[in-house]
Amino acid sequence: MASMDVATVLEQLRSAIRERRQAITGASDPARNAVERELQRSLEQIEITRVVSAHWPLEGRNLPERAWALFNRLVRLYLRWYINPIVEQQNSFNDVAARMLRLLVESHNEVRTQIAALQSNADDGDSADSSGPHTDIRAIDDLLSVDDVQALVERLGKSESPAALADIEVRPLLAPLVERRLVNAHWKLEGRTLIQKGWALLNKLVRRYLRWLINPIVEQQNAYNAALIAAVTALLAADAEARATLASLRAQRSNEASDHV
């Protein structure tokens, strides 16, 4: 009964997240572009697949199936010492990875906030200074020495936004992340001698029997891995786009400030 409760609670949580995603998607802000919406969907998928469970309902429609399900429950109960620590370790990793992504998204949202502030200031500046006096920057060229220009370049450079995540170290990690995303419970079992081959055959039969227990765990983890890769890819795209926009806005503001000198 406890196993069915766990499965039911997980399914209810996942259904609630799906409903929330549909509600948000239906009333999404039109100002958010496709990259931002894809990032939001990926993060919600992370939450849906984050928890891996080894305790799913084992049921039967007739008496023989119910008897077999009861036997499997007893086997699963016995194997808790072996399976549960593996699942708990995986869930611990999944939780840390999800929290890391949330922190990265918070950092990305700070960049989006800076963009919104710059765009708001630019709009206010256009309405207030549209008829103000302008001085051609070339008129003060003779007043700036080489050292002054260098100091100006360094000062403006410090005010630029940091390089996008994709331009540093994250992008090269995507390839091995994709390559290693699949967990496989069916590797080769072979032997060179007759005894080894017989033992390998026995292990294959045991593995075949335990598919009902192991395969759902593997499938859940693979679903989370796929969601993690999708979220990282969407975050990289959104971050690169946002930081490029921020750099463009800052450069535009610097040019406008120079034109108003």
Specify the long-range contacts of residues 153-156, CB closer than 8 Å, at least 24 apart: 156/254
Beta-carbon count within 10 A of 239 CB: 23
Domain interval for residue 215 = 2-125+141-259
| Residue 140: per-residue pLDDT | 44
Structure tokens, 79: 């194997």
| Residue 84: per-residue pLDDT | 92
In a domain, 208, yes or no: yes
| Residue 17: per-residue pLDDT | 59
In a domain, 130, yes or no: no
In a domain, 134, yes or no: no
d(CA 47, CA 223): 11
| Residue 5: per-residue pLDDT | 55
In a domain, 8, yes or no: yes
Total residue length of the chain:
261
In a domain, 147, yes or no: yes
Q: Which residues in the chain come in under a pLDDT of 50?
A: 1-4, 24-28, 30-31, 131-140
**Cα 18–24–28 angle (5° rounding)?**
145
Say if CB 83 and CB 54 are below 8 A apart. Answer: yes
d(CA 236, CA 227): 14
For 48, 49, 86, the CA distances from 93, given in Å and listed in that order, are 15, 13, 11
Counted domains in the chain: 1
Q: Is residue 74 packed enough to be buried (19+ CB in 10 Å), middle (13-18) or exposed (0-12)?
A: exposed
| Residue 26: per-residue pLDDT | 47
What's phi and psi for 84, nearest 5 deg?
-60, -45
Q: Which residue, chain included where needed, has tokens 């990289």?
A: 236
Say if CB 161 and CB 243 are below 8 A apart. Answer: yes
First-last CA distance in the chain: 76
In a domain, 133, yes or no: no
d(CA 197, CA 7): 38
Q: Which of 34, 1, 41, 3 is nearest to 20 (CA)?
A: 41
| Residue 11: per-residue pLDDT | 64
| Residue 226: per-residue pLDDT | 92
Specify the long-range contacts of residues 15-24, CB closer than 8 Å, at least 24 apart: 17/44, 17/47, 17/48, 18/48, 20/44
In a domain, 135, yes or no: no
Does residue 224 sit in helix, strand or coil? helix
d(CA 102, CA 47): 11
Q: Which residue, chain included where needed, has tokens 């016995």?
A: 78
| Residue 15: per-residue pLDDT | 66
| Residue 167: per-residue pLDDT | 53
Q: Which of 231, 247, 252 is nearest to 177 (CA)?
A: 231
In a domain, 65, yes or no: yes
| Residue 10: per-residue pLDDT | 60
